[in-house]
Structure 1
Amino acid sequence: MKKKSLILAISVLLASCNHEAEQKEESSPRLAESKEMVTEMATISEDFKIEDIEVSSADIGDFPFLNLPTGLQAANVLEKNFDVCFFPLDGRMVPFEGRLYKANVVASQGEDYSKRYFEKSIEEYLLAIGAVKVFDGEITKEEYERYHRKDPNKGGAGDMGYWDQHIHFYVVRSKDNGNIYIQYTSNNAGGQLNILQETVFEQTITKITSDKIADDLAEKGKAILYINFDTEKSNLTAEGKEVVKEITAALHKDKSLKISIDGHTDNTGDATHNKRLSQDRAEAVVDHIILDGISQDRLIAKGFGSSNPLFSNDTEQNKAKNRRVELVKIN
């Protein structure tokens, strides 16, 4: 069976230039739910010890480590560089975190779907690479109602974990790729497949500082920032004002520095509106910098709307990258 490599690219951004829903403090119910999930993950080892599964030295290729058998294809694929997925342990859906692949499985054009063919193909391959079956059955309706509101990945690709689904759950402890969790289910019309490669979360959020801004301007001639504004307005939020203070500090340190403050949006909505909004926001940043004692003749405000994207606006992640403020050094 051939193995294919799926390359994932995803960025986590702090804020956006014209984000429809700016990040705010989570409500106490949401915080409680988050704490509950962390506690649940921390107690997994009481019921399931990954160390009890023998390490496999099989060459399993690249993520997601298996392709579909001939005559079947993936549809509505979901891929995340880091996320959570729930797997059944003794009938209880338990969250695991890592690199995630989820897909619906359907027949290729001109082929008929066979539940037996899909399940037998996956099972024999998993066993051949040293996977161990840890669950084979259904969860209760009560268990579904308990956990399903916590699952952020329901509603599209590879949905699994309903009380009327027969779930097959396997674990591979790969010598080269770490712990890998695979679950699948099927009926006579099609199947679902979930694969998670367990990884440790890496924090990528860092504080924007005047030194970093100055370094970027000196080395690249440009600094890309993500500044919070009120939704569909040019009013800076408290977080946005903190970022602007760092811009001002960089300008105070280098008295000769002049910059253009360029506002950018994604392509959502009316182009004329987006250009006007990006101009207003760039001017709002300039106004706050002037209030902090920087001369206006060192600053220019420009709004480009969606005309200069960094990435194609084909995903929400890429749109978030395009919603930005750029500081461009003026020579």
Structure 2
Amino acid sequence: MKKTTLIFGLSALIISCNQAVKQQEGTEDSTEIPVEVNEVKTEKENSSTEFNIEDLAFSTADIGDFPFINLPEGLEADQGAIQRKFDVCFFPIQGIMTPFEGKLYKANISAVRGEEYSQRYFEKSMEDYMLSVGAVKVFDGEITKEEYDRYNKQDPNKGGSGDIGYWNQNIKFFIIRSKDKGNIYIQWTSNNAGGKLNIVQEEAFKQTITKVTADEIVKDLSEKGKSILYINFDVDQSTITTDGKEVVTQIAEALQKDKNVVIAIEGHTDNTGNAVHNKKLSNDRANSVLNALIADGIDKTRLSAIGFGSEKPLVDNNSDENKAKNRRVELVKK
């Protein structure tokens, strides 16, 4: 009986020790997994700060002039391609759509008439050429829908020609660093129907707006017989804004310098909207300027006002930039 009791006691002790060892081993295993996961997570977090364009080597290739790409034989840019001296375009840096500014080219690419479009032909032509001129591939993949939702309203060219940056597009993005041409960003996407191409030659913004002065107005009236001015009004109204009143003050000073000059104030709009409405609006704005000048002490017999709407554009109304040029007030010497 004593032997039986001893055997049972030893067995219980052995079983208890084994369980303790297993529990200890299980505890050690359970603590190893989160350590490994945290290490991986930290590496991913750190990778978001790793990209630095200064790390990319300069290309020594002769890449020509902007937009730097002659399309592959048999392919062409569709009508409506965007080419601007300064604009913004978004490119994927580690999956984050990042804005770069400078000279911009955006186009839809298709086969010339009589040919069939080949996705593989376009993509291989582009990639082989990029590598041949020392470009570096920065991204090849898709962005997330969350990333698209985050950035898309910041892109002023969304929906236009060559629009790239949707979550279901495979985007290939290369950078060329050139000591002569600066940083050049090139991305494209393609399917079996056609391609899209974006190019930016990075440049800093240069301010070209200068304050209108009375001396400049006098000079224009004397040498050219007219002075073209951009006076700000409330949107779709004839009320002159605070900035606009500063321009009117300079007009008044110019007319005080030469008290013999007589001018016609002509209002002009772009071709957006109803033509009858635009003509009335331009006439109302010209008369607002006339009345403001009278309030500044200019004899009303030296002034007349008329609105032409969109009848006399300076340039074609084929872009936002040109439409802005057409929304003007002209002082015409009589």
> What TM-score range do you get, normalising by the shorter chain?
0.7 to 0.9
Deviation, 1:201, is 0.5
1:57–1:176 Cα contact (<8 Å) kept: no
SS in 2 for 1:193: strand
Aligned counterpart, 1:244: 248
Q: C-alpha separation between the residues in 2 aligned to 1:186 and 1:272?
A: 44
The TM-score with structure 1 as length reference comes to 0.79
CA 324–94 in structure 1, closer or farther in 2 if over 3 Å, else same:
same
The answer on whether the counterparts of 1:135 and 1:169 sit within 8 Å (CA) in structure 2 is yes
Question: Superposition RMSD on alpha carbons, in Å?
Answer: 2.1
In structure 2, the CA distance between the partners of 1:144 and 1:281, relative to structure 1 (3 Å rule), is closer
Q: Which has the larger radius of gyration?
A: 2
Which of 123, 129, 136 is 1:125 aligned to?
A: 129
What is the rounded CA distance, in whole Å, between the counterparts of 1:105 and 1:308 in structure 2?
Answer: 35
Match of 2:138 among 111, 124, 134: 134
Moved more, 263-272 or 121-130: 263-272
- Give the Cα separation in 2 of the matches to 1:120 and 1:242: 57
Q: Which secondary structure does the structure 1 equivalent of 2:81 belong to?
A: strand
Task: Give 1:70's aligned amino acid.
Answer: E
Paired amino acid for 1:63: F
CA distance change for structure 1 residues 324 and 74 in 2, over 3 Å: closer, same or farther?
Answer: same
Alpha-carbon contact 1:113-1:188 (below 8 Å) kept: yes
Amino acid at match of 2:331: L
Shift of 1:272: 4.5
Tell me which residue corresponds to 1:62.
Answer: 65
Alpha-carbon offset, residue 121 of structure 1: 0.3
Deviation at 1:48, TM superposition (A): 2.7
Query: Could you tell me whether the CA contact under 8 Å between 1:141 and 1:163 is conserved in 2?
Result: yes
**2:160 is aligned with 1:156:** yes
For 2:282 and 2:167, locate their aligned partners in 1 and report how far apart those are by CA, in whole Å.
48
Which residue in 2 is equivalent to 1:4?
A: none
Q: Secondary structure at the match of 2:110?
A: strand
Q: Are 1:111 and 2:154 an aligned pair?
A: no
1:229 to 219, 230, 233: 233
**2:173 corresponding residue in structure 1:** 169
Gaps of 5+ in 1: 1-44
Quote how far apart the aligned CAs of 1:55 are. 1.8
Kindly provide the amino acid, as one letter, of the partner of residue 249 in structure 2.
Answer: K
* Residue 47 of structure 2 is aligned to residue 74 of structure 1: no
1:159-308 → structure 2 map (5 Å cutoff):
159-308=163-312
Structure 2 stretches of 5 or more lacking a match? Answer: 1-47
Inter-partner Cα distance in structure 2 for 1:213 and 1:202: 24
TM-score by length of structure 2 reads 0.79
Instruction: State the one-letter code of the partner of 1:183.
Output: Q
Contact 1:311/1:322 (<8 A) preserved: yes
Q: Greater RCO between the two (CA within 8 Å, min separation 6)?
A: 1
CA distance in 2, matches of 1:47, 1:212: 51
Deviation beyond 4 Å, 4+ runs, structure 1: 269-273
CA distance in 1, matches of 2:310, 2:146: 47
CA distance in 2 between partners of 1:203 and 1:122 (Å): 35
Q: Which residue of 2 aligns with 1:38?
A: none
| Alpha carbons 1:55, 1:174 under 8 Å: kept | yes
Q: Who is 1:50 aligned against?
A: 53
AA partner of residue 297 (structure 1): T
* 1:235-275 superposed Cα distances (whole Å, 9 cap, x missing partner): 32333222212111222233233222122223344544443
Aligned residues: 286
Which residue does the alignment assign to 1:312? 316
Counterparts of 1:290 and 1:284, CA distance in 2:
10
- Rounded to whole Å, the distance in 1 between the matches of 2:265 and 2:71 is 49
CA distance, structure 2, for counterparts of residue 276 and residue 140 of structure 1: 48
Residue 83 of structure 1: how far off its partner (Å) = 1.5
